[in-house]
Amino acid sequence: MTDTPTPPWDGLILGAALATLDSDTGYGEITDGALGWRDGVLTFVGPRNALPDSPDRLAREVIEARGWITPGLVDCHTHLVFAGDRAREFELRLQGASYEAIARAGGGILSTVRATREASEDELLRQSLPRARALLADGATTLEIKSGYGLDFDSERKMLRVARRVGEVLGVTVRTTYLAAHALPPEYKERADDYIDAACDWLPRLHAEGLVDAVDAFCEGIGFTPAQTRRMFEAARALGLPVKLHADQLSDLGGAALAAEFSGLSADHVEYTSEDSVRAMAAHGTVAVLLPGAFHVLRETKLPPLDAFRVHGVPMAVATDCNPGTSPLLSMRQAMQLACTHFRLTPEEALRGATVHAAHALGLTDRGVLRVGARADFVQWQVGHPAELCYWLGGRLADAVYAGGRRIS
């Protein structure tokens, strides 16, 4: 009896259509496809009849599949690490209470800050993992998680540590974003400049612990001024950290242009972004991250400058903005559907926005497409066409979700 040679690939899926997205337009469709991987990296992407050998000689595991396979979804803007919820505030808003009235009664973002500060690290992880698992079950394979509900050194550190632990427990990439400049904590009331000084001082310590991948801020009338945001960005630049920005959500303070000035990875929300700012984003490669969940929950009417983004070639990403106050959204597919419904994105634009453009909004170039050499993050869907990912409201469409070549859902 002779020894059977060890196959070179870890896995090979046959039969499903592939939406490679490996071109500027179209889904990059390959019918009766074959997708192979080894050591977490794609080794073959093409039609079955182009395989270089018989499947059983190529891979340790060969899977016959139907439906479609797309790149894994990338949720490039979340606040999913927090304690408690604000469901009662949602009810009060529907009954006519204003955000200001809710905040005066002890609600709003500071209620989440209180709950997050009070939770232990293990408790914060326990509450956060189900939210992350829900995103993964619906096709997400990479997550961005922000701090910003701690607003003091120890609590911001705790949030970032929990975000790292989420990735370790679930076996997916988690990019952490430092968002201490999210809101003004009560102990710094009417001392926003002093708080920015403190937040800038905390950053090098947290970065030295390996907890920060990027820096964000909320540049808005109810947040921080462009000048204060600039100071936060300068602190990030001194450490070689990329920046992102909650920009132009409620008014045009030139936030998107400020992010572009610092060659920011992304400007997020961008409902009030001007065409001049769009041009600046295009010139500096800054991605526009659309957050239709918050638009939907807040019942906003001001649309982002979508045509300007298209005309000037600014990539549009789509993300959940998962957070307890304005976007309690636990599905990237639902975010894609809302982007199509509210913003009139095409299903192809929404899928690109949730994959390749979202990856670029995190500074990641090794995922978001199906091509040889890319990370083996992909989803097998029980659909007849990729447009169905944006068509169905709810339900489970993912048959299998793989991150780094390992099935995670």
Q: Does 141 count as an annotated binding residue?
A: no
Q: Does 157 count as an annotated binding residue?
A: no
Alpha helical stretches, state H, 317-366: 332-343, 347-353, 356-360
What pLDDT is stored for residue 20 in this prediction?
98
Q: Does 149 count as an annotated binding residue?
A: yes
Q: Does 79 count as an annotated binding residue?
A: yes
Distance of CA 98 to the CA centre of its chain: 29
Taking 70 as the pLDDT cut, the residues of the chain under it are: 1-6, 99-100
Q: Does 402 count as an annotated binding residue?
A: no
Go through the chain and tell me how many residues it has.
Answer: 409
Q: Does 368 count as an annotated binding residue?
A: no
Q: Does 182 count as an annotated binding residue?
A: yes
Q: Could you give the CA distance from residue 265 to residue 285 in angstroms, rounded to a whole number?
A: 7
Q: Does 207 count as an annotated binding residue?
A: no
* Prediction pTM value: 0.96
Q: Could you tell me where the beta strands, DSSP code E, fall in 222-285?
A: 244-247, 266-269
Q: Judge whether 164 and 211 are in contact, CB under 8 Å.
A: yes
359: helix, strand or coil: helix
List, as own/partner pairs, every contact residues 57-61 make where C-beta atoms lie below 8 angstroms and the sequence separation is at least 24, other chains included.
Answer: 57/5, 57/7, 58/7, 58/8, 58/9, 58/12, 59/7, 59/8, 59/9, 59/10, 59/11, 59/12, 60/6, 60/7, 60/9, 60/10, 60/11, 61/10, 61/11, 61/12
The residue to which tokens 């490039």 are assigned: 76
What pLDDT is stored for residue 370 in this prediction?
98
Q: Does 357 count as an annotated binding residue?
A: no
Q: Does 325 count as an annotated binding residue?
A: yes
Q: Which amino acid type is present at position 232? A: M
Structural domains of the chain, ranges and CATH numbers in brackets? 9-71+368-407 (2.30.40.10), 73-361 (3.20.20.140)
Q: Does 86 count as an annotated binding residue?
A: yes
Instruction: Say if strands 244-247 and 214-219 run parallel, antiparallel, or are unpaired.
Output: parallel
What pLDDT is stored for residue 342 in this prediction?
98
